[in-house]
């Protein structure tokens, strides 16, 4: 029998995080959307302190070598609630972030402990993943940033763009950036490896911080590497270039873990919009009549129910992809399905919410127009809608990337 009830321990975590989202994040959401490049240090310090004392799963801390149990499922439930509070603040929260996900996916047990243990102590810190380049977006295999061995060091050269939390990870003490680079261009995907560059490393510089449509509380940076030298053992995994592209598989494994998280963030934004519409309907005396034949429903009721169904479908796909990771199962197909569905659903739901409420939805007096702006990124980063649909088609039809591109 399939049970869709939330386990009591995860439900307890969800309630705690929802309280944080409602009382800490919502009150400052508009302020740091307006003040895009200013940092909410009171929020950072509060969340960092919470990460040091709470369940490690909650804020991304803890030992990476701990048993899986329900770590990923708890994570997506947590992310949904934080994004219900504010997606930009959630993304900017000090944590291992995508950089930590990359270390978990591609690093050795020793590297996981070495790089991630720092997030269990000290002051707030961030980690980021740098993969996208000016001439390389969705085609991650086309990376041109190079890593050349020179004695007991690697020397990195190249430019990375759209690095989430790149400014904080590159410049703040004890953070790091995971950089995907090629050690052998002639080897194609097999030559792509991941390298950990600690914050403040000479040769790594942030040259631009983007001005964005949404998630404005988070920073998105361009990072340039010019003869940036790092230790040999900062390469994640094996340095060997083999027929099987292990380094590139590490990058893709990172996305298998991160895409359900992005989907969960999308669902949180969509739920915030849906909750606001419901509250506005209630104030106007408009009731959603469940159980009434579709032909007797108003257009607003049908739209609202479609919005609910879309978000619920996305949530179930997300939970399934995360549960599979907790069970040690390959979730490449399911992660892309969750990401594709949630990215499309949140875009449609927030736009429809603004449409349903008219001037109330369009006004900056309320957060609904902000949620519509925040929503769109979930259909773009961690693989665009089109890329994820392509991955889904390949897995279902059994085609390789060369056969279906």
Q: Which two tokens stand for residue 346?
A: 């949140």
- 151 torsion bin: left (phi>0), alpha (psi -120 to 50), beta (else): left
Local structure of 17: helix, strand or coil: helix
Is residue 382 among the annotated active site residues? yes
- Whether 218 and 164 have beta carbons less than 8 Å apart is answered as yes
- β-bridge mates for residue 146, sequence order: 157, 182
Q: Which two tokens stand for residue 220?
A: 């998105």
CA–CA separation, 245 and 141 (whole Å): 10
| End-to-end Cα, the chain, rounded Å | 39
Helices marked H in 235-377:
246-283, 299-326, 332-357, 359-362, 368-375
Local structure of 91: helix, strand or coil: helix
Q: Which two tokens stand for residue 314?
A: 């996305």
Q: Which two tokens stand for residue 61?
A: 């801390």
- β-bridge mates for residue 177, sequence order: 128, 197
Query: Who contacts 79 (Cβ-Cβ below 8 Å, separation ≥6)?
Result: 90, 261, 264, 265, 268
Task: List the catalytic residue out of 133, 369, 382, 403.
Answer: 382
Q: What's the gap between Cα 259 and its chain centre?
A: 7
Which of 283, 135, 290, 126 has the alpha carbon at shortest distance from 198? 126
Instruction: Provide the annotated active-site residues.
Output: 382
């Amino acid at each position: 029998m399939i049970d869709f009830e939330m386990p009591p321990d995860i439900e307890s975590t969800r309630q705690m995080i929802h309280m944080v989202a409602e009382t800490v994040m919502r009150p400052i959401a508009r302020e740091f959307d307006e003040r895009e490049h200013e940092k909410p240090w009171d929020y950072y310090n509060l969340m960092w302190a919470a990460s040091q004392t709470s369940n490690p799963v909650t804020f991304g801390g803890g030992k990476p070598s701990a048993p899986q149990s329900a770590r990923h499922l708890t994570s997506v439930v947590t992310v949904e609630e934080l994004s219900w509070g504010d997606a930009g603040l959630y993304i900017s929260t000090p944590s291992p972030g995508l950089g930590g996900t990359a270390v978990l996916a591609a690093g050795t047990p020793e590297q996981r402990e070495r790089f991630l243990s720092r997030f269990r102590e000290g002051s707030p810190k961030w980690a980021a993943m740098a993969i996208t380049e000016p001439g390389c977006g969705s085609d991650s295999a086309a990376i041109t940033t190079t890593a050349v061995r020179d004695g007991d060091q690697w020397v990195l050269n190249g430019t990375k763009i759209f690095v989430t939390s790149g400014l904080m990870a590159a410049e703040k003490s004890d953070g790091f950036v995971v950089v995907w680079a090629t050690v052998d261009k002639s080897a194609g995907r097999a030559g792509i490896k991941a390298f950990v560059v600690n914050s403040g490393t000479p040769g790594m510089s942030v040259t631009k911080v983007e001005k964005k449509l949404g998630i404005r509380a988070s920073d998105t940076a361009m990072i340039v590497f010019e003869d940036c030298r790092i230790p040999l053992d900062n390469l994640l995994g094996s340095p060997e270039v083999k027929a099987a592209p292990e380094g590139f598989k590490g990058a893709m494994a990172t996305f298998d873990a991160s895409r359900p998280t992005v989907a969960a963030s999308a669902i949180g934004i969509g739920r915030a919009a849906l909750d606001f519409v419901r509250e506005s309907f209630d104030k106007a005396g408009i009731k959603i009549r469940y159980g009434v034949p579709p032909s007797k429903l108003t257009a607003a009721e049908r739209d609202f129910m479609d919005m609910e169904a879309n978000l619920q479908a996305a949530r179930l796909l997300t939970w399934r992809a995360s549960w599979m990771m907790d069970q040690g199962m390959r979730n490449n197909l399911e992660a892309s399905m969750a990401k594709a569905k949630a990215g499309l659903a949140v875009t449609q739901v927030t736009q429809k919410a603004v449409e349903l409420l008219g001037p109330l939805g369009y006004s900056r007096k309320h957060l609904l127009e902000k949620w519509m702006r925040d929503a769109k990124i979930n259909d773009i980063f961690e693989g665009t809608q089109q890329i994820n649909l392509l991955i889904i088609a390949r897995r279902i039809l059994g085609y390789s990337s060369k056969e279906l591109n």
